[in-house]
Amino acid sequence: MDHLKKGEVNLGTSIMAAIFDGGVVLGADSRTTTGSYIANRVTDKLTQVHDTIWCCRSGSAADTQAIADIVHYHLQMYNVQNAEPPATHIAAALFQELCYTNKDQLSAGIIIAGYDKRHGGEVYSIPLGGSLHKQRYAIGGSGSTYIYGYCDANWKENFTEAECVEFVKGSLSEAVKWDGSSGGVIRMVVLTDRGAERKIFFPDEGYKGDGK
């Protein structure tokens, strides 16, 4: 984004999360751009804020990293004070409060996703401006503008885990294909009652993400 303050790095990016029967999948590309310059090809835009609550970050890397660190701290305190892990909606509410209260100073679009045995998989999105939306799946970042039709055509209720991974992989592959600010590898996190499982897909493994 052209209005970024000095020292910030813009995550021209593609991020998403989707629910399946028994959990949730988060995914993101790995390209960080500074204007038209690719500052990092292997950025990790998936950030853990509690055991099975993660977020996808887009916008200013400095802003989103700071917000995630603050939420992580508050969720740790919640866990200690209440002797139970926080639910995903608590993390989402904390993210929203920070994003909305400071909306004039921040450039942050965030997707929060998590799993717990009581609520199952949940996905929340916070676009620029700080509004909060609970969704079955959410997409964000510069690459998301290219894949609304693809996601609508391929989304279905009650995905299996494998189907959801392929849905996220396919969606991000399309975003990387068309968006010049997205690229690199596709990183994923699968959250279930087994915990958090990380996955990575390289350009030579079935999608065109090398940004030639």
CB 14 within 8 Å of CB 175: yes
| CB atoms near residue 144 (< 10 Å) | 24
State the residue for tokens 């885990």. Answer: 161
Tokens representing residue 79 in the block: 């866990």
Residues sharing a CB contact under 8 Å with residue 6, sequence separation 6 or more, in sequence order = none
**DSSP annotation string for 40-90:** ESS---EEEEETTEEEEEEEEHHHHHHHHHHHHHHHHHHHHHHTSPPPHHH
Catalytic residue ranges: 13
Which residue, 17, 1, 32, is CA-closest to 181? 32
Tokens of 192: 């279930």
Q: With 0-12 CB in 10 A as exposed, 13-18 as middle and 19+ as buried, what is 40?
A: middle
Tokens of 6: 């000095």
